[in-house]
Amino acid sequence: MASSLPFAGILGLFSAKPQHPVGDDGRMALSDHLRELRARLLRCTLVLVVTFVVALFFYEELLELIKRPYVDAVEQLGGKVPSELVLSGVTSALLLQLKLCGVAAIVVSSPYWLMQIWGFIVPGLHQHEKRWTRLFAAVAGPLFFTGVALGYYVLPKGIEVLIGFTPVDVTNLVDFGEFFSFITRMLLVFGIAMEIPLFVIMLNLAGVVSGKAIGRYRPWIIIGTFVFAAVATPSTDPFSMLMLAIPMLVLFVIAEIVARLVDRARGRGRETTDQWDDDEVSPI
């Protein structure tokens, strides 16, 4: 009987029922917040560990998938720049395998840990608004996958531009560890960037920001999106920046439209208590 308690505790972590009490006013005690955070971190850790172990069995396929953008970039250069991937160091191969499977686990399990992040940020939703959490879980994962796929699509062009700076008669030996870090930053930046407009919509549903405020700050959002895309993309080519900025702007427009429709349905159109609706702030 005692041996089944740890297993029951693990199952309890994945219970759909609230783990800690939320008052009628949507508030939770600080100690309950910390326990809630601990429970969600444990759940995410367990899911990541299981996904990581599964990814170890598909290491060869994942390795070929990671090498493909580099191979395509070299082929597009037509052999003008001698370049090859290399590993240096006794532990490099092992570290590469662990990192690759770890990133794969993060990407594959993204629908789950994104839902856990949202569930912790907004614990005080009313009962009739709980369905928006399920909607978030259904949309967040595919959006993250779309961002990662988009980043993977533009990778060969970015790598081609960077390798193209190699001087004539010089062989470019690309360290596989650094190359993998470059790809990881690129894919995660694209994946997370696709989630930002969705978080805006969910914050609107929670009553934190209004559609009117989003429209008021639209010029700054456009400028900030291009600055973010320019800084966040590891490659220096404008193609990668535009491929990140344009989808983000489209999603922001959709987020503003949805937020305004939600505000109108709630009767918050003009008379809103949103903290960002300060009439003294004017757009560009």
- Residues of the chain with pLDDT > 90, as a percent, come to 10
**Mean pLDDT for the stretch of residues 235-241:** 72
With 60 as the cut, is the pLDDT of residue 1 above it?
Answer: no
With 80 as the cut, is the pLDDT of residue 166 above it?
Answer: yes
Whole-number pLDDT of residue 217: 84
**Cβ proximity of 54 and 140 under 8 Å:** no
From the list 116, 251, 265, 121, the residue with the least C-alpha distance to 190 is 251
pLDDT per residue as tens digits for the range 63-122: 999 999 888 888 888 767 788 888 887 888 899 899 999 999 988 888 888 778 777 766
Whole-number pLDDT of residue 281: 43
Cα distance between residue 115 and residue 40, in whole Å? 10
Tell me the pLDDT of the chain averaged across its residues: 77
**Cβ proximity of 36 and 20 under 8 Å:** yes
pLDDT band at 202 (very low <50, low <70, confident <90, very high): confident
**Cβ proximity of 147 and 154 under 8 Å:** no
Helix (H) or strand (E) holding 173: strand 172-175
| The overall pTM is greater than 0.85 | no
Selected residue with higher pLDDT from 24 and 100? 100
From the list 201, 215, 209, 178, the residue with the least C-alpha distance to 275 is 209
Cα distance between residue 173 and residue 257, in whole Å? 49
Selected residue with higher pLDDT from 66 and 239? 66
Domain ranges for the chain: 29-127+154-192, 195-284
**Mean pLDDT for the stretch of residues 233-253:** 79
User: Rounded to a whole number, what is the distance in angstroms from the first to the last CA of the chain?
Assistant: 68
Whole-number pLDDT of residue 56: 92
**Mean pLDDT for the stretch of residues 7-23:** 50
pLDDT band at 46 (very low <50, low <70, confident <90, very high): very high
